[in-house]
Amino acid sequence: MGSNNIVFLGDEESQLSGGTNRVWRASMGELLGSAVLVFMVDTIVISTSESDTEMPNLIMSILIAIVLTIILLAVVPVSGGHLNPVISFSAALVGIISMSRAIIYIVAQCLGAVLGALALKAVVSSTIDETFSLGGCTITVIALGPNGPVTLGLETAQALWLEIFCTFVLLFASIWMAYDHRQAKALGLVTVLSIVGLVLGLLVFISTTVTTKRGYAGVGMNPARCLGPAIVRGGHLWDGHWIFWIGPSISCVAFYVYTQIIPPKHFHAEYGYKHDFVGVVKALFGSNV
C-alpha cells in the first residue's frame, strides 16, 4: 500500500490474519463501502442523466472515477478495498485471499449494494425512480413509441462482450498494479487507487460512447452494484441481469489464466501466493493433478 508494513493487495490472507472475528470485521468494511459506492454511483448516474450538459456520460465517468478513488482510500485499510465481487473472485483465483474469504466478501458486497439502493430509493421521488431505474444496470428499457411501447437498448451478445472485454481491461490495466506488490509499493497507495478509479471511469465512458444506445446504461463491471438496484427496483432491471455476472466471471478466469502463463518472476516475485487456485486443487487431490 505504499506503507512500510502493509502491501496493497499483496498476500491479504496473511495481512488480515487474526481469526474469524477479523474476517467478519473486514467484511463489514466491504458491506458499508459497497453501500456508499452504490448510493453515490447511482446518484451520479441519475443526476448526470437529468442534467442539460452536452456530454453527460463524460461528466458521469469523471465523477465516478473521483468517488471510487475516495471510497477505496477509506476502505483499503479495513479490508483491502475490494468493493466488487470481480476483485474478490479474481483475488481468490490468484491466491491473494482464500476462496472462503472471497465468498464472505462477495456476500457482504451484495448486502451492502442492497442497502445502498434502499437508501437511494428513500431519498428520490417516485418519478425519478421510475424514469432512471434507480440508476441501475440496464441492457434495455421499454419506452413509448409512435405506435405503442418499444424496446430500446443493446443486444445481449454485444452487452456480454462489452462486460467481458471491459472487466478484463480493468483487471489488466489497473488491478494488475495492485496485485504486483513491487509496483504497488513503488507507486504508492494514492497513485494506485487513483489509476484504478481513472481506468474504471474511462471504461464507463467508452462503453456508453461506442454504443450510443438509449436504454443501455454502460458496462457494470461490478455485479453487486447491479444486483442492489435490481432487488430494490425490480422490473426490467432483471432483464439480462445475468450478463453482469457471467461476463465479469469469464474475465476473472481469463485474467487468472494470463497470470499462469506469464513468467512467474513478473507476478509471483519473491513469494508465491499460497491460496492460488491451481495450487489448492493440487494440494487437495495430490501432485498428480
Q: Is residue 144 part of a domain?
A: no
Q: Which domain holds residue 96?
A: 12-135+154-284
pLDDT of residue 253: 94
Which cell goes with 252?
476473472
Alpha carbon separation from 98 to 91, 103, 236, 259 (Å, rounded): 8, 9, 35, 17
Asked if residue 255 lies in contact with residue 168, where contact means CB atoms within 8 angstroms, the answer is: yes
Q: Is residue 147 part of a domain?
A: no
User: In the predicted model, what is the mean pLDDT of the chain?
Assistant: 82
Q: What is the mean pLDDT of residues 138-152?
A: 65
Q: How confident is the model at residue 286 (pLDDT cuts 50, 70, 90)?
A: low
Q: Is residue 261 part of a domain?
A: yes
Q: What string of DSSP letters covers 112-161?
A: HHHHHHHHHHHHS-HHHHHHHGGG---SEEEEEETTEEEEEE--HHHHHH
Q: Is residue 94 part of a domain?
A: yes
Angle at 111 between CA 157 and CA 10, to 5 degrees: 80
Structure pTM? 0.86
Q: Is residue 148 part of a domain?
A: no
pLDDT tens track for 84-114 = 999 999 988 888 888 889 999 999 999 999 9
How many distinct structural domains can be found in the chain? 1
Q: Is the pLDDT of residue 3 over 60?
A: no
Q: Is residue 141 part of a domain?
A: no
At 122, give phi and psi (nearest 5°): -70, -20
Asked if residue 170 lies in contact with residue 199, where contact means CB atoms within 8 angstroms, the answer is: yes
Q: How confident is the model at residue 145 (pLDDT cuts 50, 70, 90)?
A: low
**Residue 183: which CATH number?**
1.20.1080.10
Amino acid at 171: L
Q: Is the pLDDT of residue 270 over 60?
A: no
pLDDT tens track for 165-221 = 999 999 988 777 776 677 777 788 888 888 899 999 999 998 888 877 777 878 899
Asked if residue 84 lies in contact with residue 200, where contact means CB atoms within 8 angstroms, the answer is: no
Q: Is residue 169 part of a domain?
A: yes
pLDDT of residue 278: 65
Distance between CA atoms of 287 and 281, rounded to whole angstroms?
Answer: 9
Q: Is residue 146 part of a domain?
A: no
Strand partners, 145: 148
Asked if residue 154 lies in contact with residue 140, where contact means CB atoms within 8 angstroms, the answer is: yes
Distance between CA atoms of 235 and 198, rounded to whole angstroms?
Answer: 32
pLDDT tens track for 148-158 = 555 677 888 99
Distance between CA atoms of 29 and 82, rounded to whole angstroms?
Answer: 10
